[in-house]
Homo-oligomer: A and B are copies of this chain.
Amino acid sequence: MARGRADDPDHGVELLWRAGDREPRQGLSLPRIVRAAVELADDEGLAGLSMRKVADRLGFTTMSLYRHVPGRGQLVDLMLDEVLGEHPQPMETGGWRARLEAVARHAWEIRKRHPWLAEVRGSRHVPGPNAVAHYDYMLSTLAGTALRPSEVIAVVGMVGRFVDAEALVLVETRREERRSGVSEEEWWGSRDSLYERLDRYPTLSHLWTAGGWDHPEDSFDFGLRRLLDGVEVLVRKRDEIRDEKCAECGGPLEPAPSGRPRVYCSRACQQRAYRRRRNG
């Protein structure tokens, strides 16, 4: 019943969106596999996630998993939705900025708990119900602004990618530290053979002596602030446009789909104004 060609995405959708399946008392089951896989990935990262290890953790053979999951790819899809389900999006109040920031920080927290989330690559991961719920909520934070629909989508995408990018450096750092037993600071500190060669680079040297690396900014906080500032600039601009009135009748001005600013609210007003210019 769970069997289906590994590269049939619709079967993936099926697996993701069916809820509350009976869990047999014993033996394998999809939820059990997914949970084991999540635990494993939490411990060892996405690269350390292998079908063999998941099976070992459950006390079954590798191939037994394929009776329930089409393959590794789809397993990752399921894991993704599983962990998002563990962290439901809390309802926040406040303006768009406060809510969007809260969403970003929430996503950041999730990624600290499940670092492998940021490592998931691929443009064709079918979203499960929890992923969609999160996405919908993120979109909703900006729904009240004057941003155009495509802009709302773009901003949400940008924030998501920002969080993932930041999480990724965190993950990599952690992984290398665990693997080598040497802290990041220590490791870079021992690269004298590299530093010797950096004197020729003026700005680098200048910022170095100015202590730029001694008290670095918090990468996530700093980036998020800049990013939200940038969004705010756009929101304000759109708000101004929204507040402008038609030059003829003073009525509300709908933004053009092209983005080009309008002066009149309708062809009728445009004509009225033209006639007045000619006659007056």
Contact = CB atoms under 8 A, between A and B. Distances in A.
Contacts of A212: 148-150, 152-153
A22 interface: no
B150 A191 contact: no
A215 interface: yes
Nearest to A140: B203
A117 to B, nearest CB: 14
B172 A165 contact: no
Interface string A216-252: 1101001101111111111000000000000000000
Contacts of A191: 9-10, 13, 126
A90 interface: no
A129 interface: yes
Contact of A139 (B122, B184, B204): B204
Contacts of A176: 122-124
Interface residues of A, number: 77
B153 A216 contact: yes
A206 to B, nearest CB: 7
A5 interface: no
A91 interface: no
Contacts of A140: 202-203
A167 to B, nearest CB: 11
Interface stretch (A62-70, A92-100, A106-114, A193-201): A193-201
Interface in A131-155: 132-133, 135-137, 139-140, 143, 148-155
Contacts of A184: 123-124
Contacts of A7: 180
Ranked 7 nearest A-B pairs via Cβ: A149-B212, A230-B230, A226-B230, A229-B230, A154-B217, A136-B201, A140-B203
8 contacts: A122-B176, A129-B197, A133-B201, A136-B201, A139-B204, A150-B211, A162-B165, A226-B231
